[in-house]
Chains A and B, each alone.
Chain A
Amino acid sequence: MDAYLVAILTVAGVYVVLALALNLQFGLTGLINFGVVGFFGIGAYASGIATETLGLPFVGGLMVAILAGGVTGVGVALLSLRLSGDFLAIVTLGFAETARLVFNNEDWLTGGPRGFIIRTRPVMSGLSRDVTAWAVLGLVAAAALITFLVLRRLADAPYGRILRAIREDDLVPSTLGKNVFVYRLQVFVVGSAAMAAAGSLYAHYVQTITPDNFTTPVAILVWMAVIVGGAGNMLGSVLGALLVTVLYEGSRFVTAGISVLDAEQISALRFILIGTVLILTIRFRPMGILPESQRRASASVPPTTP
């Protein structure tokens, strides 16, 4: 059971990074990215190819993943030119599907449906199985913490104020001299790079990746995490991701006891469970468990008037 807990928390940590990145893009800036899973997958494969095919160490793989995610982010962003609402949603959706087809069909590079085996571990070798598992969890938790601290800093800074303004009504910051396109581009690229970093961590944790690891259900969980946690609130995304993964992974054990159902029914049941949580949250806390806070940097400047 201890090993299961470590496993669940490690996956949860990866989802925390994904949810934080999506929260930067959607929660703060209002960018609808339905291609989360595409960036996640590109990071995973890029990191795997860098370490296994090119022989780089894990850190090199992580860097290649971040770079690949960022560059792909620029490409997708420029494709949907002004990054405006519905168009971005459609382009990112198409991008995720294209990425999955590439993972599936370019066998020479990705191993295709048979999967891609990754032997490079993100922690030093020669440790016992248990210790390695804990060390990987520690690494993922550290990555999640760093992502949280960096993105919260952005959100609380005047930079984050402009992102929220863009989300509310982009014409206003634009007529006040802010280059809205540049902000959207930066946010999209930073978020995509973080999603790819999550992919790298995930790949070196699970050690075998297949195109099936990068399908729509992953993106749905990440979106639910952001919305349940509270869009616009970074701590909310951490909480949402933990809640959603613990429920989803944890329900594996509960549903495993129900022997009358087959695997597919059980998988559906787990999504029904998560969906119920989402509906209840929206019903009773429409802004999420932790709504976007009002307390920000500007409010901490004391009044000058007596």
Chain B
Amino acid sequence: MSVPLLLADGLSKRFSGATAVDAVSFVVESGQIVGLIGPNGAGKTTLFNLLSGVLRPDSGRLIIRDRDVTGLPPHRLARLGLVRTFQLARELDRLTVLENVLLAARHHAGERLLGALCRPRATAADEGRLVARAREVLSLVSLSAHESKPAAALSGGQKKLLELARCLMAEADIILLDEIAAGVAPHLVEKIGQLVIRLNRDHGKTFVIIEHNIGFIRSLASRVVVMASGRVLAEGSFTHVAANRTVIESYLGQAA
């Protein structure tokens, strides 16, 4: 049995009294695509904030590849190979689409103070290589035509695709997608699905996907975790959780 890639152990987060995430434990194995579903307010986004270091848990531990990373800041977790998208797209309005993607590059000589000042050749070489890669990534999400526009000019759906593009640029192993398909045109949703499958199959990327589009989850996720009121309600294969009475009740009771 190999070590799990990501392990949440009793993670909890309270906001002024209300418990948004309540002792959540689960395991993500390397190479899995895990679907995270549950009604609005279930605590899914808050859980992503805990997993990505944006929020510190009040209690519980977060383990990545056998290493306790509880309480590490987001940039440290990103360097360990975990990146995420935001439910409300956080594009950088006054940077171009290409720059938004380039920002996710790792190991760039020109991103250091002294590199930028004293190593123009290394900076230019890295920039050339990374711009080429950023353009590949942009073409994967059908944003090539928009590369020199300010990100503010993109539509809501395109901003979601830009979020995905940044994750792909970051060379991460674990990618957390928060409602990536919401507001995206149907043919692009299909394309995102195929992309996730290809990255998972060919490049061994691991995904955790929050999504309300049940068809999207059904077609992608090998395992589904259901949350409600901050707790894990059920987990297992899609058919397994879909047959679970409490899941159906909590889901249909609130979402419908």
Contacts and interface: CB of A to CB of B under 8 A. Distances in A.
Interface of A: 150, 153-154, 157-162, 164-165, 168-169, 171-180, 186, 190, 292, 294, 296-299, 301, 303-305
Contact of B92 (A157, A158, A169, A186): A169
Nearest to A292: B94
B112 interface: yes
A301 B131 contact: yes
Given A154-B116, A159-B112, 6 more contacts: A153-B116, A161-B103, A171-B90, A172-B90, A174-B74, A175-B54
A176 B103 contact: yes
Contact of B127 (A158, A162, A177): A158
A292 to B, nearest CB: 7
B65 interface: no
Interface stretch (B35-43, B78-86, B215-223): B78-86
A213 to B, nearest CB: 31
B47 interface: no
Contacts of B54: 171, 175
B229 interface: no
16 contacts: A162-B103, A164-B94, A168-B92, A168-B95, A171-B74, A174-B73, A174-B74, A175-B84, A176-B83, A176-B166, A177-B83, A294-B148, A294-B150, A298-B98, A298-B99, A305-B144
A297 B96 contact: no
B237 interface: no
Contact of A298 (B79, B93, B102): B102
A159 B105 CA distance: 12
Interface residues of B, number: 45
Contacts of B112: 159
* Ranked 4 nearest A-B pairs via Cβ: A157-B116, A177-B78, A158-B110, A159-B116
Contacts of B30: none
Nearest to A158: B110
B30 to A, nearest CB: 20
Given A162-B103, A176-B170, A298-B99, A157 B135 contact: no
A32 B104 CA distance: 26
A301 B99 CA distance: 12
Contacts of A159: 110-113, 115-116
Contacts of B132: 301, 304
B121 interface: no
Contacts of B236: none
B75 A164 contact: no
A80 B194 CA distance: 47
A304 B136 CA distance: 10
Interface of B: 52-54, 73-75, 78-79, 83-84, 90, 92-96, 98-99, 102-106, 108, 110-113, 115-117, 123-124, 126-128, 131-132, 135, 139, 144, 148, 150, 166, 170
Contacts of B148: 294, 299
Contacts of A301: 127-128, 131-132
B49 to A, nearest CB: 10
Contacts of A177: 75, 78-79, 83, 104, 106, 170
B99 A175 contact: no
Contacts of A305: 135, 139, 144
Contacts of A171: 54, 74, 90
A60 B131 CA distance: 43
Contacts of A157: 110, 116-117, 123
Nearest to B93: A168
Contacts of A175: 52-54, 74-75, 78, 83-84
A174 to B, nearest CB: 5
Contacts of A150: 117
Contacts of A172: 90, 92, 103, 166
Contacts of B117: 150, 153-154, 157
B95 A180 contact: no
B116 A169 contact: no
Nearest to B78: A177
A186 to B, nearest CB: 5
B75 A180 contact: yes
B193 to A, nearest CB: 23
Contacts of A169: 90, 92
B176 to A, nearest CB: 10
A141 B100 CA distance: 36
Contacts of A164: 92, 94-95
A158 B108 contact: yes
Contacts of B75: 173-180
A27 B29 CA distance: 44
Contacts of A160: 116
A64 B53 CA distance: 41
Contacts of B113: 154, 159, 186, 190
A296 B99 contact: yes
Contacts of B128: 301
A176 to B, nearest CB: 5
A165 B95 contact: yes
A161 B98 CA distance: 11
